Amino acid sequence: MIKNVAVVGLGKVGSLVAILLSKSFKVHGFDSEPVTESFPFKTSVVDISNQQSTLKQLGEVDAVVSCLPYKYNIIIAKIAHTLGIHYFDLTEDIKTSVEIKKLSETSKGVMAPQCGLAPGYIAIAGCSLINKFSRLRDVELRVGALPRYPNGLLGYSFNWSPAGVINEYIEDAEVIANGKRKYVSSLLGLETINIEGREYEAFYTSGGLGTLCKTLEGKVDTLNYKTIRYPGHARLMRFLLSELILKDKKELIEEILTIAKPPVKEDMVHVYAAVEGWKGDKLFREEFFHTYLPQQIDGKEYRAISWTTASSVCSVIELVHKGITAPKGYLKQEDISLDDFLSTTYGQYYKNQM
């Protein structure tokens, strides 16, 4: 049972995670700087580079949620492991998740990385289709967090962590092709998608599948995850990262793109999954598609990317709290039922727009 939760990182998503959790749990929010905004929970400054101090500050909680940039998650995960408490994060970084998987082998609590939108909710939605088949052929997962009214050649706004987006574009993507697990370069595998009469493109990015490749290895011929963007985005990002070699200067490209493409209020999130396979001796294709828009929570409107990400991790925490998942060890998103997810207090935010 979870009573006290620490949320580390009170940015756009982290603050909403803490607000939502405070409806059901006693929450303590932590950030690297003093918080000036008024929140319905206690806040404190934390210096995660000081391990002993952080251990002391987190020593009174049952669970910790890291809403920090991906490169800091492993620090919080190791502290959670030392304290024997549950750990949750939103990371898309494969290397971080592999390290957390190793920690989970001796953890006293649940270790649950990848609890956001992609990886996270997309795997839960995809597996709701996968479980309908007796034998699989192809699994395609697609997610796009986009401005509703794009401008400029990139057609994008950084409503989410620039560091996370750039990391997804640079690191290789894991797929299953011709029945074999392999890695492919991100920003490749370009395809055209038509959604309700509007044309988009989709391409490989890193991390979106979470642990699905390992879970479905030997069971499917094709499995891949692609990010949805407006046409032309991938070509321009390849130019910036590869031809201008800015992939070697992550902080610089993050700064450039943050200044050039600031957040917008009007955004949307496309979530699409398609599965082909056999039910008995007949071949079928099942699809799942929803577009999520900004939503009001407690009288305040939140961007689609913010509430979809925040309510996703909060739903997983509630399921752990209720004992619906295993009580300890590594929690894979594909082990979570979509019905269970949507039935939680926080899953209702998804359900409201389905």
In this prediction, residues 182-200 reach a mean pLDDT of 96
- Helix-strand-coil split of the chain, %, nearest 5: 35, 30, 35
pLDDT in tens, 137-182: 999 999 999 999 999 999 999 988 888 899 999 999 999 999 999 9
In this prediction, residues 15-21 reach a mean pLDDT of 97
Name the band, by pLDDT with cuts 50, 70 and 90, for residue 121: very high
Quote the distance between the C-alpha of residue 18 and its chain's center. 16
pLDDT at 255 over 90: yes
Please report the pLDDT score of residue 274 as a whole number. 98
Q: In the chain, which residue ranges form alpha helices assigned H by DSSP?
A: 12-21, 51-57, 73-83, 94-104, 121-130, 162-170, 212-216, 233-238, 250-260, 304-321, 338-342, 348-351
pTM: 0.95
- Nearest alpha carbon to residue 88 among 206, 8, 22, 16: 8
* Mean pLDDT rounded to a whole number for the chain: 96
Please report the pLDDT score of residue 160 as a whole number. 81
Q: Report the percentage of the chain scoring pLDDT > 90.
A: 95
Pairing of strands 4-8, 63-66: parallel
Please report the pLDDT score of residue 163 as a whole number. 87
- Nearest alpha carbon to residue 174 among 256, 119, 106, 108: 119
Q: Report the percentage of the chain scoring pLDDT > 70.
A: 100
pLDDT in tens, 38-97: 999 999 999 999 999 999 999 999 999 999 999 999 999 999 999 999 999 999 989 999
Please report the pLDDT score of residue 162 as a whole number. 87
Contact 11, 329 (CB under 8 A): no
Please report the pLDDT score of residue 161 as a whole number. 82
Q: What's the CA gap between 346 and 20, in Å, rounded?
A: 8
